[in-house]
Amino acid sequence: MRLTEAQLAVLEAASATDERPIDDLAADLGEKPETVTRIVFELEEEGLLEVSESEAVTLAATEEGREYADAGLPEVRLHRAAIEAGADEEPASMGAVIGRSGLEGPAVDIALSNYARKGYGTIDAGEITADPDADPDADPERLALEAVVDATADADEDRVDPPEGVDGDVLESLERRGLVDRSESTVRSVALSDAGVTALMEGIETAETVDRLTPELLTSGEWADVEFAEYNVEADAETATGGRKHILRQTADRVKDVLVGMGFREMEGPHADSEFWINDCLFMPQDHPARTHWDQFALDLPPMEQIPPDLLERVERAHREGWGEDGDGYHSPWTEDVARAIDLRGHTTSLSMRHLSGFALGDLEPPRRFFSVEKVYRNDTLDPTHLLEFFQIEGWVMAEDLSVRDLMGTFEEFYRQFGITDVQFKPHYNPYTEPSFELFGRHPETDELIEIGNSGMFREEVLGPLGVECDVMAWGLALERLLMLMYGFDDIRDVHGTLCDLELLRETEVVR
């Protein structure tokens, strides 16, 4: 019998009497588990090794689990406080008992939802009773949780085998409560087969095999004489995760395709822009809270010079005196300094202003449709649905005699392409549109209505100074919200930024 040296080493490390996990063999041989796995399969095919598989479960206490192991399960703490308050004699006030227990925030709900389930007592109409016979020291979840935490500390490992004597159902409920994390993996163990024992006794010749063709082998001509290792396409291998386009970008590309398909043309323009294009053109008074309603990021840059003077004059006039016969304007302070100051744009409606005014591409004749899918910046508080920057799907249609039905129809057509067929509209206020509508969609997982966009028909005070004589309907939709509706994410930070969920980003398919 002839084997490679590596094969022989694995065969010799295997035992006829003891099944040994592949990881142990690999550790003994100083090889990578993947390499040993490949060789094990080769030897199994030769009939020299027998491979068996088993499922191994390991456990780890979560952060919350460790907290409770330390401070006590919330329901146990509640019971203790209830006993102290005499609730084993007669019902006590729930507020007082909670106060005494020291439980706060979500821990209160957790305590309440487990209290009766575990027979610690009853909760009814603001009163709580405690069952004097309940024994928190024997609470199976508590004991199991402590056993996992202790075993982890003893072993000085993150994950441990399930501690002995812990019931499967109890572990399951700890897992459901998010206190213990359970993971399963397949462990392969090997033992020498009879043929393997015989082969070793009869003696094995070794031959070096080559597992890759190198330039040296080619130039020396040695390749003709060496023995090549065979490929085993069934062997386990490490998953290779290469780079890929972020799903947000992929979805942005798809949105662009859809809008181009609907006859729209893409707008481009600066991320840092003058307040003139960001706010003044939109008839947002300079002293109005609306100017800070996006909590804009002001930049320490020289003021913008190249604003068309006649346009600047008309916009100023609209602010001061109004526009059209009945117009009245704001009579509020207005200065060029403010208009020329540079901010990070809080919306891409600045691009719509640049285009509608003729500044970007020259005067435009109706009908025209434009869009952009670009980043905007707002000084918001970070939370599951707000980021400091996000992508806005900006768009507008310029045509004679547009109505709200055109606006709604456009959204219905647009969102339908993404499988969203139940967009809802709510009347809204923007200083620059009248009427205005917020758009809502239903989150597929939480079933909540979430805001997905803002829209309306530009007012005369906006269009007049820009020199536009027909109707313009316009909108800004949030790309991230569209993503949430499409894929069911409920935290934007899963897809963005330092907390993002790499697995989810790797696995989510964006269908084109």
Q: Which residues belong to the annotated binding site for L-phenylalanine?
A: 349, 392-394, 432, 458
Decide: is 162 part of the binding site for ligand PHE (CB under 6 A): no
> Interacting stretch for ligand PHE, rule CB under 6 A, among 39-47, 54-62, 231-239, 469-477?
469-477
Decide: is 454 part of the binding site for ligand PHE (CB under 6 A): yes
155 CB neighbour count, 10 Å cutoff:
11
Candidate residues 33, 162, 431, 456; the one interacting with ligand PHE per rule CB under 6 A? 456
Tokens of 104: 């706060």
Candidate residues 148, 356, 474, 485; the one interacting with ligand PHE per rule CB under 6 A? 474
Contact call for residues 128 and 121 (beta carbons, < 8 A): yes
Give the angle 398-285-299 at the CA atoms, nearest 5°. 90
Candidate residues 476, 480, 495, 496; the one interacting with ligand PHE per rule CB under 6 A? 476
**E-only strand ranges, 104-179:** 123-124, 127-128
Q: Nearer Cβ to ligand PHE, position 314 or 481?
A: 481
Q: How far is the CB of 279 from ligand PHE (least distance, A)?
A: 10
Look-up of token digits 């006794």: 201
Strands 272-274 and 342-344, bridge-based pairing: antiparallel
- Alpha-carbon distance of 454 to 434, in angstroms, equals 12
Q: Nearer Cβ to ligand PHE, position 286 or 433?
A: 433
Beta bridge partners of 370: 265, 396
Q: How far is the CB of 321 from ligand PHE (least distance, A)?
A: 24
x-or-dash string of contact with ligand PHE, 373-412, rule CB under 6 A: ----------------------------------------
Give Cβ neighbours of residue 172 (< 8 Å, ≥ 6 apart).
none
Candidate residues 41, 330, 414, 475; the one interacting with ligand PHE per rule CB under 6 A? 475
**Binding-site residue set:** 349, 392-394, 432, 434, 458
Number of residues that bind ligand PHE (CB under 6 A): 10
- Alpha-carbon distance of 498 to 388, in angstroms, equals 13
Q: How far is the CB of 433 from ligand PHE (least distance, A)?
A: 5
Which helix (H) or strand (E) segment is 409 a member of? helix 404-416
- Alpha-carbon distance of 499 to 383, in angstroms, equals 12
Binding to ligand PHE (CB under 6 A) within 423-442 occurs at: 430, 433
Candidate residues 4, 349, 357, 508; the one interacting with ligand PHE per rule CB under 6 A? 349
End-to-end CA distance of the chain: 55
Q: Nearer Cβ to ligand PHE, position 115 or 391?
A: 391
> Interacting stretch for ligand PHE, rule CB under 6 A, among 66-74, 326-334, 474-482, 494-502?
474-482
Q: How far is the CB of 349 from ligand PHE (least distance, A)?
A: 4
Candidate residues 38, 118, 314, 347; the one interacting with ligand PHE per rule CB under 6 A? 347
Look-up of token digits 């906006």: 462
Decide: is 372 part of the binding site for ligand PHE (CB under 6 A): no
> Interacting stretch for ligand PHE, rule CB under 6 A, among 131-139, 145-153, 415-423, 449-457?
449-457
Give the angle 365-369-372 at the CA atoms, nearest 5°. 130
Give Cβ neighbours of residue 352 (< 8 Å, ≥ 6 apart).
267, 370, 394, 396, 474
Decide: is 152 part of the binding site for ligand PHE (CB under 6 A): no
Q: What is the DSSP string of 369-385?
A: EEEEEEEEE--PPPBTT
Tokens of 437: 């509508």
Q: State the residue number with the nearest CB to ligand PHE.
A: 476
Decide: is 455 part of the binding site for ligand PHE (CB under 6 A): yes
List Cα–Cα distances, 358 to 132, 143, 272, 313, 365, in angstroms: 80, 73, 19, 16, 10
Give residues in contact with ligand PHE (CB under 6 A): 347, 349, 430, 433, 454-456, 474-476
